Amino acid sequence: MRNKYMKAKTILVTGGAGFLGSHLCDRLINEGHNVICLDNLQTGYKQNVAHLLSHSSFEFIRHDICETIRLEVDEIYNLACPASPPHYQNNPVGTTKTCVLGSINMLGLAKRNNAKILQASTSEVYGDPKVHPQVEEYRGDVNPIGIRACYDEGKRCAETLFFDYHRQHGVKIKVMRIFNTYGPKMDPDDGRVVSNFIVQALQGKDITIYGDGSQTRSFCFKDDLLDGMQALMNSDDAITGPINIGNPDEFTIKELAEEVIRQVDTTSQIIYKPLPADDPTRRKPNIEKAKEILNWQPSIKLSEGLKPTIAYFDSLLRGEIKL
């Protein structure tokens, strides 16, 4: 039980064994909080938090957020959801359930505890955007019956639920729209572009560009992203978002492939494969709100952030890290 004189908070991180969640657990433990990491291990690995398991302030619970759970918490970071297109399309009904039922359950938990809750929303709420760069006011262009809709519409509905729990029940909410983020502890097999290209380059295999590689993304290193996430959670209660957090440096996918080839110094060749349906043609966050409201902006360039990311995948492929 928490001592009322202790300043440490009890913080629930759903999806805490995933890429972003596991780094967040590290940060919160280092700050002296009690952390409950809840994850069904659908796309995450217990290994990502293995070093925390013996820590007295850390608890791992294997649980699906589509099921209710009773816990005593002060804050909730709701990160549970597969993030890579191949993973979230693998069980699309499950993805929508995680976004919608999972959000209802976590919002209910926040309501019972009078806890603050942050939602890891996504740039995908803008779909294939007709407004560029994307501002928070833009309502997006999502194909509601397409193969990405389970995620895009699921996350849009989650945002609706967050704002309705806020208006109807007074729940303290923080909605963060995350743009493509990369770094160590991404799943090497999850099919996202940064992990695919690095693993392919390290193995000397062909680098698979989908389409002609002219589509763009703006890549944020995980440390910058987590700074933004924590700044939002720790901001005044009046700040609900939605707020874009991402790096506005925009690259074509071909430019990303060339940078990875240069840094890995590989003999891999670029090959072209069909573009998946509804693949957004361009994406870049407008981060003026984050700058103004949170005093946050990213500082790590793609060329810098790729270095520790490549080193991580190299260690993994050499067997120095096991998942």
Give residues in contact with ligand NAD (CB under 6 A). Answer: 14-15, 17-21, 39-44, 64-66, 79-83, 98, 102, 120, 122, 178, 180-181, 187
Binders in 294-323 for ligand UDP, by CB under 6 A = none
| 85 vs 298, beta carbon nearer ligand UDP | 85
CA–CA separation, 283 and 250 (whole Å): 8
Q: Does 246 bind ligand UDP (CB under 6 A)?
A: no
- Give the torsion sign (CA, 249, 254, 260, 263): negative
CB of 253 to ligand UDP, least distance (A): 5
Q: Could you tell me which stretch among 11-19, 63-71, 203-211, 297-305 binds ligand UDP (CB under 6 A)? A: 203-211
CA–CA separation, 43 and 53 (whole Å): 19
Among 156, 192, 284, 289, contact with ligand UDP (rule: CB under 6 A)? 192
What value, to the nearest 5°, has the Cα angle with vertex 240 and ends 185 and 3? 70
- Residue 300: burial class (beta carbons within 10 Å; 0-12, 13-18, 19+): buried
CB atoms within 10 A of CB 31: 12
Residues in the chain: 323
Residue 253, contacted partner among ligand NAD, ligand UDP, none, CB below 5-8 A by kind: ligand UDP
For the question of residue 151 being annotated catalytic, the response is yes
Q: Does 133 bind ligand UDP (CB under 6 A)?
A: no
Binders in 269-298 for ligand UDP, by CB under 6 A = 275-276, 279
For the chain, report the end-to-end CA distance as a whole number of angstroms. Answer: 33
β-partners of residue 221 are: 182
Applying CB under 6 A, the residues found at the interface with ligand UDP are 84-85, 180, 192-193, 196, 208-210, 215, 217, 253, 275-276, 279
